[in-house]
Amino acid sequence: MRDEQQARFLAEQAVEQAVAAGADAADAIYAGGRSTSVQVRNGELEDVKRSEHEAVGVRLFVGQRSATASTSDFASEALGELVARALEMAREAPEDSYAGLAPAELLAGGPHPDIDGWDAHEPDMAAMQARVLEAEAAALGVTGVANSMGCGASASASVIGLATSHGFSGGYRSTGHSLSASVVAGEGSAMQRDYEWSGARHFNDLDDPEAIGRRAGERAAARLQTARIAPGPMPVVFEPRVAATLLGHFSPAISGSVIARKSSFLQDKLGQRVFGAGVNIIDDPLRPRGLRSRAFDGEGLPVRRMALAEDGVLTSWLAEAASARQLGIAPTGHAHRGVGGAPGAGPSNLYLEAGARSVEEMLAGYPRLLLVTELIGQGVNGVTGDYSRGAVGFLYERGERIGTVSEITVASNLLAMFASLEPASDLELKRGVDSPSVLVPEMMVGSA
């Protein structure tokens, strides 16, 4: 894996060769990384993995025709052959009136922001295994927990270098650490499983192994007491790690390419109230140590903190250069790309801002309420917004937990859910997509 300067140099070299070979414009991206992981189960080492990868991807343009190609061979001759193949492909590609690099006047200038994403500490295998064993022991020590499904740790590092033929060159690096525990509680047909996970850019920001294991065990054991739930309309609270999936339906629906194809349930909602008053959804690529932080976007444009929904109003699409041209807007700095294919658009560190009420107040506010802790299946229509998913959770009566309910469905439409949802006050910024608990006052609950 190269360092930042070497990554930039390789990308610049690929661009120079593309232009020298006859391309009208080009960009190139270098992506390199390494990762190490350890997996244990019931006190025994189960798996150890180590991997490294690096590649350069070139995108070049001949008029309004374009092609992309990638290689892991960085010799000058190999890059020349790659460029020659890509040029041949581009000359045979159909014309695209929206194709092209991002506008030169919008490119990010240096120095690029410091996102504090690099941690020089790389734990060795023995230390990683010890932490995983500590987490597993804590999980197995919870009353009711019967078995381990496997607990793991990982450490990774990556470097990005990007260059364009019209003046951009930049690079940044980041690291990642994670620790997880997954266990089973109960026996026979009454068995229940659950997990806990922590991830961070810096090793010292990870949650304590004992706390991770204990939470995994407590979550699994809490599901042993079952309850029955009558089908029909009911208020539903999504706990934070499940509520984040609602943002996972929101962000693709405002992607410029989807809007340009007129295939989004939010198609005509720009500038309109989509959420309730006071609801804000933020994208923050510059959050220090954020899991999706970056110094610039995949086309070399500057990035910034943006409110995608402000006081309930949808304020922006997510658009890379091509879809921005289709929509007649400026690109928004949300381009993502790998070494293969053209850029797409998507968020970085995305989160729903916290509300005023605690989740405990929400749970106590109704005679009967469902707290969803797990969703199953993919029953969401991105065109109509129709929503129906399998679910597991807890039944509450006047704020008291009655027991676990499973093999149920929760259904509504995302437009109705967005318009009525209320965020709780328990937001923690720990993942790439974060949400507090979310109350939807009415959904249809049925049998799976």
Helix (H, G, I), strand (E, B) or coil at 78: helix
- Domain identity same for 206 and 231: no
Residues 191 and 314 in one domain: no
Structure tokens at 382: 């991105």
Q: Which residues, including other chains, have CB under 8 Å from residue 299's CB and lie 6 or more apart?
A: 27, 101, 102, 164, 320, 321, 331, 335, 337, 343
Q: Are 234 and 183 contained in the same domain?
A: no
Please indicate, yes or no, whether the overall pTM of this predicted structure exceeds 0.75: yes
The string of pLDDT tens digits covering residues 77-104 is 999 999 999 999 999 999 999 999 999 9
Q: What percent of the chain has pLDDT over 70?
A: 100
| Mean pLDDT score of the chain | 96
CATH (domain of 59): 3.30.2290.10
Which tokens go with 180?
A: 């997880």
345 shares a domain with 390: yes
Residue 46 has pLDDT above 90, yes or no: yes
Task: Say if strands 25-41 and 44-62 run parallel, antiparallel, or are unpaired.
Answer: antiparallel
Q: What is the DSSP string of 273-285?
A: B-S-TT--EEE-T
**pLDDT band, very low/low/confident/very high, at 188 (cuts 50, 70, 90):** confident
Residue 75: partners with Cβ closer than 8 Å, 6 or more residues away: none
**Residue 193 shares a structural domain with residue 259:** no
Cβ pair 410, 402 in contact under 8 A: no
Q: Of the candidates 220, 249, 281, which is a domain's last residue?
A: 220
Please tell me the predicted confidence (pLDDT) of residue 189.
Answer: 80
Q: Are 209 and 60 in the same domain?
A: yes
Q: What is the DSSP string of 339-386?
A: SSS--EE--SSEEEPP-SS-HHHHHTTSSEEEEEEEEES--B-TTT-E
- Collapsed DSSP state (helix, strand, coil) of residue 317: coil
Of 186, 203, 220, which residue sits at a domain end? 220
Clarify whether residues 310 and 355 are in a common domain.
yes
Task: Please write the tens of the pLDDT for every residue from 320-377.
Answer: 999 999 999 999 999 999 999 899 999 999 999 999 999 999 999 999 999 999 999 8
Q: Residue 136's pLDDT band (boundaries 50, 70, 90)? A: very high
One domain, residues 42 and 153: yes
Token couple for 208: 């304590």
Domain that holds residue 51: 4-220
What pLDDT, on a 0 to 100 scale, did the predictor assign at position 447?
84
Same domain as 129, residue 216: yes
The last residue of a domain, from among 198, 220, 242: 220
> For a pLDDT cut of 90, what percent of the chain falls above it?
96
Could you tell me if 304 and 187 lie in one domain?
Answer: no
**In the numeric block, which tokens belong to residue 191?**
């068995």
Tens of pLDDT along 149-174?
Answer: 999 999 999 999 999 999 999 999 99
Q: Do 140 and 80 reside in the same domain of the chain?
A: yes
Q: What is the pLDDT of residue 22?
A: 96
Q: What is the pLDDT at residue 448?
A: 66
Contacts of 296 (CB under 8 A, 6+ apart): 108, 112, 162, 168, 170, 172, 302, 303
pLDDT band at 208; cut points 50, 70, 90: very high
Q: Domain check: are 303 and 396 in the same one?
A: yes
Per-residue model confidence as pLDDT tens digits over 237-248 = 999 999 999 999
Total domains, the chain? 2
Angle at 432 between CA 177 and CA 163, to 5 degrees: 85
- The pLDDT of residue 221 is above 90: yes
